[in-house]
Amino acid sequence: MILISLYETTYPGPADDEDDYCPDGETEQLIVDEPVTFTELVRLMRQHPIPSCSHPRGEPFEWLSTEPEQNYVTGEWTERTLHFSLKNTQHQRRYWRLAMQAARFIRR
């Protein structure tokens, strides 16, 4: 089992047509340190298709995120991110990389 954390960040919609709109988001912890199987981890990674860096290597500090979704009623934007929990053992780090390979974020 591998421990993962899921976060959801909500950004408020712009008050008007601001050119330099860059608000701070409000982050909520959806799941913290939940154990998942390797297969579940690969499935979750495929649901979060955007890596945190342009050339992911499968390092434990890299995370994956979803495309931001807009609530058209409130104008808010929501982004969800998947993280490797730092409570995992050193041995479990290799499974994060292997899962990223299985999800086709990195090549072997």
**In this structure, are residues 105 and 39 in contact, taking their beta carbons and an 8 Å threshold?**
no
Rounded to whole angstroms, how far apart are CA atoms 35 and 69?
A: 26
Q: Tell me: the pLDDT tens digits for 17-31?
A: 655 555 666 666 677
Q: Considering the chain, what is the average pLDDT of its residues?
A: 86
pLDDT at residue number 98: 93
Task: Reply yes or no on whether the pLDDT at 45 is more than 90.
Answer: yes
Q: Tell me: the pLDDT tens digits for 57-79?
A: 889 999 999 998 888 888 788 88
Q: Which residues contact 12 (CB under 8 A, 6 or more apart)?
A: 23, 75, 76
Name the percent of the chain lying above pLDDT 90: 50
Where do the structural domains in the chain lie, given as residue ranges? 2-102
